[in-house]
Structures are given as C-alpha cells and as structure tokens.
Amino acid sequence: MASLTYTALKTIWIKECTRFLRIWVQTLVPPAITMTLYFVIFGNIIGTRIDASGGMNGIPYMEFIVPGLIMMSVITNSYSNVASSFFSAKFQRNIEEMLVAPVSSAVIIAGYVGGSLARALIVACIVTVVSFIFVDNIQIYHAGILVLTVVLTSTLFSLGGLINAVHAKTFDDISIVPTFVLTPLTYLGGVFFSISMLPEIWQNIAQINPVLYMVNAFRYGFLGVTDVNIGLALGLLIGFNLILFALAYTLLQRGAGIRS
C-alpha cells in the first residue's frame, strides 16, 4: 500500500512539473520580466528618492523590496499553477479517472501542491537572480525562517488555487480570486512599504491582511527586520494551511463540483 501511495504521488508530481516546464515561456519567463519592471520602476525611480531621505527603516529601498517581490511571485505562481491545472483536468473530465483510482484524496492534493511548490521555488530563484542585477548585496539573516515561510506560503496558496478550481465552472472563474482578492492583498501587504509609515488607523487595518505576515516573515529571513511578530506570522501560516487542507480534502472526498 505504501508503494502504491508513493507511486501515485510521484506520478502526479512529475505530471505537474512536466506540465509547467513544457510551457516554460508562459510559466517561468513572465515573472522575470514583471519583476524586472518592478525593480526598474519602484527600485530605481522611486527608490532613489526614498534612499535620499534615509531609506526604508535605514535599509536601502531596493534591498527592502527584494523579499516582497519574491514573495509576490511565489503567491501568484503557486495559486495559478494549481488553479489552472486542476480545472483543466476537471474540464477535460480526466480528473474523474484519478478520483475512482485507489488513490486517497490526500495524495492527490499533495501531488498537485508539490508540483505547484516546485514551480514557486523555481520562480523564486529566478526572481532572486534577477534581483542581483539591481542589488549589490543580498544577505540572508535566518535561512530556516526563509525556507519555512516560502514553503508554507506556497502550500497555502496552492491549496487555495485547488479549492478555487473545484468550485469553478468556467475558465473565467479561476481568474476572479487572483484579480479581486490576491492582487489587492498583495499590493497592500507591505511588499513596497513598511506599515510603520502608515497612520495608526491604517496600521491596524493592514494587520488584518494575512499577506502582510507572509511578506514580513520572509523579509525577516532576508534582512532581520519585520513589522509583525514572527511567531504569530508562522502560526497563522500553519493554521491557514491546516484549514485549507481540511477543506480541500473534504471537497475531494465529496466530489463537490466534480462528480455530476
């Protein structure tokens, strides 16, 4: 039984990795181009003015936004990878073959999330390499928190993408959450600024945003600075992961949105 589970998990994972690597021009190149534009516009143009007034909490602005841009690319790619892949399998009706096979829902989820995590890590490495063009010195303050944060964040949004794909009825449905939820939360999640710059009332509002904790935990791993409590940030990530996994597992077990 253990051998069957491993084979199923490996097969789904390899399929997912092969899928996004086959179309690498669409999956891996755009993040590099997009992040380059962010570095040029926010880093070079706006950053020079911020650095002239002392930087962002004493840190050069370009270095400050590097962790946020990496995390933004991880969030976007983790979500879109599972959402598009799982919905395509559902739309083509081949997901039903997987559901009737002697494979548990947990293995199916792990396979899809594992493929998404692989894409997120590759994209994170690409964006990091791109950042070397604009930033002379990128330090790592705490490698353990850095890796833990990126894995938990990628897993969280992969699960979110899977849940979105389960409920989606058309391809347009899988773009609603990224457009109206993820994009606003990401831009207001401290990617380009420290919430200490905001008025107190807006600081309190910003602390409701879960992306703020992910970005700051990742930034702490890089620079050793944060606007939030690291223990709380990691606790929220673990808690949200458990909740979304339980929800995704329940939906697959019930065949919600899949079995007619």
User: What is the per-residue pLDDT across 204-216, written as a single tens digit (0 to 9) for each?
Assistant: 888 999 999 999 9
Structure tokens at 57: 């909490």
Return the closest-CA partner of residue 241 out of 161, 152, 167, 163.
152
Q: Classify the C-alpha dihedral 42-43-49-50 as positive or negative.
A: positive
Neighbours of 163 (CB within 10 A): 22
Range of lowest pLDDT (3-7, 123-127, 159-163)? 3-7
> What is the Cα–Cα distance from 158 to 108, expressed in whole angstroms?
13
> What is the Cα–Cα distance from 254 to 260, expressed in whole angstroms?
11
- Of all residues in the chain, what percent carry a pLDDT higher than 90? 55
Q: Would you list the domain boundaries of the chain?
A: 2-254
Q: In b/e form, how buried is each residue of 140-151, taking b as 16+ CB within 10 angstroms?
A: eebeebbebbbb
Average pLDDT, integer, range 27-55: 82
| 260 confidence band (pLDDT: 50, 70, 90) | low
> What is the Cα–Cα distance from 166 to 47, expressed in whole angstroms?
41
pLDDT reported for residue 198? 84
| 259 confidence band (pLDDT: 50, 70, 90) | low
pLDDT reported for residue 156? 97
The residue type at 210: P
Alpha helical stretches, state H, the chain: 2-22, 24-27, 29-38, 47-52, 61-91, 95-100, 105-134, 143-167, 176-177, 183-187, 200-206, 210-223, 230-254
The residue type at 24: W
Return the closest-CA partner of residue 78 out of 171, 163, 177, 160.
160
**52 has pLDDT over 80:** no
> What is the Cα–Cα distance from 230 to 217, expressed in whole angstroms?
6
Structure tokens at 51: 């650095």
